[in-house]
Amino acid sequence: MKKVAVVGVGETKFSGPQEKTEVELFAEAAMEAITKSNLKPKDIKALFVGNVLGDFAEGQGMVQSFAAENIGCLYVPANRYEGACASASMAIRDAFIWIASGYYDIVLAGGVERAATMGTGLATRTFAMFSDARYEYPAGITFPAVFAMLTHLYADTYKIPLQKLREQMARVSIQSYKHGSVNPRAQFFGKNADMTVEKVLGSFMVSTPLTLHDCCPFSDGAAAVVLASEEVAKKLTGKPVYITGTGQSSCGPLGNQSDYLPRIRSREISSQQAYDMAGVKPQDIDLCELHDCFSIASLIATESLGFFDYGTAGEAWEKGEADIGGKIAVNPSGGLKAKGHPIGATGAGQVYEVVKQLRGEVEPERQVEGARTGMTDTLGGDGGALVNMILQRGW
């Protein structure tokens, strides 16, 4: 298996509803990634694009082919990936595998979404399509409802009074807002830095006990990365970031995960694959961009990833152990909560952030000093698509 590096990354601002098409958004992120890689579109051998709901958002299917043509990657294979919110991470992981196998030497991978453009009603309806349409949707399941039920289950499982848990969860949102407020590409750039526990708990109720500030926003945006084999990467950049470990897993409807809930078993399997491949342990990870679609999701994720013991992640946030300078810097980008969650692009946005962090290229207020090893964690549905990647400095 060949070593595979990220050579360049690109990203639009993640935002609320905006007027660019998905093709236009993806093309902007892709051209930034290609240009930063010192490449031309003709150098790209294949293009893998995460896109979940373009059919619903703007009546556009097969966005990957139009995007490839739009940026002058003519007649190359172009694949679309759909694994709900983990789509772009699936695309990047498959690009990694194709390059590692030696079949391609340069692949562009990323994703795009216009979830905010859809508006809350249609976005809520279509996001619910990542639950079981026959056996769960009739009960009126929504994505906030899935994580709301996991919150109550978490409180019951670990015997944490609900009010205390909600206050711990508020700390997750506060930390994310703090970092997002100084990230110019974040949806909440310049906003919500003054968030308090009282404001989080007092905002309007979405699905008990999750309030608006426990939930990530609907977002528009795109992100892309160029992956290359080691020999190509060394010619293109002095700062190749190697993908040293990846894992991916799947699972069925929420009820069928009952042997493990509130743990997400597919994450434990996926992350262990990534750790084993990279030959590192949770304590070796300097920063992690993880899937905080809801505040409770951060607690559940950090425990399954091995950063904190089960039932203790909330305390870790209270003590600052999940912040920059703590045991593990979680979501220095602002995460899905504050950077935003354009679902088809989210995983590529996470890789963008980790690469920028390892290269020391982010705003000083949110730079993890000396970071050498970073990790991504992307969850589609309630675990049905789960991807982890470990990235390390190559210089």
Which parts of this chain interact with another protein (CB under 8 A)? Answer: 120-122, 124-125, 128-129, 132-142, 144-145, 148-153, 155-156, 162, 204-210, 252-256, 258
Q: What's the closest the beta carbon of residue 347 comes to another protein, in angstroms?
A: 25
Our CB check for another protein shows the closer of 35 and 124 to be 124
List the one residue out of 277, 345, 289, 341 whose CA is nearest residue 91. Answer: 345
Q: Are strands 46-50 and 106-114 parallel, antiparallel or unpaired?
A: parallel
Q: What's the closest the beta carbon of residue 156 comes to another protein, in angstroms?
A: 5
List the one residue out of 359, 297, 291, 371 whose CA is nearest residue 328. Answer: 371
How far is residue 335's CA from residue 80's CA, in Å, rounded to a whole number? 24
Query: What are the phi and psi torsion angles at 333 (to 5°)?
Result: -75, -20
The catalytic residue among 179, 213, 291, 341 is 341
Q: What's the closest the beta carbon of residue 332 comes to another protein, in angstroms?
A: 29
Our CB check for another protein shows the closer of 134 and 281 to be 134
The catalytic residue among 85, 216, 288, 293 is 85
Kindly tell me the burial class for residue 387, based on how many C-beta atoms sit within 10 Å of its own C-beta (0-12, 13-18, 19 or more).
Answer: buried
How far is C-alpha 391 from the geometric centre of its chain's CA atoms?
A: 14
How far is residue 384's CA from residue 376's CA, in Å, rounded to a whole number? 17
251 is catalytic: no
CA distances from 243 to 145, 220, 277 (A): 34, 27, 10
List the one residue out of 67, 73, 74, 76 whose CA is nearest residue 104. Answer: 76
Our CB check for another protein shows the closer of 123 and 316 to be 123
341 is catalytic: yes
Return the structure tokens found at 92: 């990047």
Q: What's the closest the beta carbon of residue 84 comes to another protein, in angstroms?
A: 15
Q: What's the closest the beta carbon of residue 158 comes to another protein, in angstroms?
A: 13
How far is residue 233's CA from residue 369's CA, in Å, rounded to a whole number? 24
- The set of residues, in sequence order, having a beta carbon less than 8 Å from that of 192 and lying 6+ positions away, is 177, 180, 181, 338
Our CB check for another protein shows the closer of 252 and 326 to be 252
Our CB check for another protein shows the closer of 92 and 148 to be 148
Our CB check for another protein shows the closer of 200 and 243 to be 200
Task: State the distance between the two ends of the chain, measured CA to CA, in whole angstroms.
Answer: 20
How far is C-alpha 202 from the geometric centre of its chain's CA atoms?
A: 27
Side-chain half-sphere CA neighbours of 269 within 13 A:
12
Handedness of CA 269, 223, 242, 320 (dihedral sign): negative
Q: What's the closest the beta carbon of residue 230 comes to another protein, in angstroms?
A: 40
Say which DSSP state 294 is in: B
Q: What's the closest the beta carbon of residue 157 comes to another protein, in angstroms?
A: 9
Our CB check for another protein shows the closer of 142 and 250 to be 142
How far is residue 161's CA from residue 106's CA, in Å, rounded to a whole number? 51
Residues with a catalytic annotation lie at: 85, 341
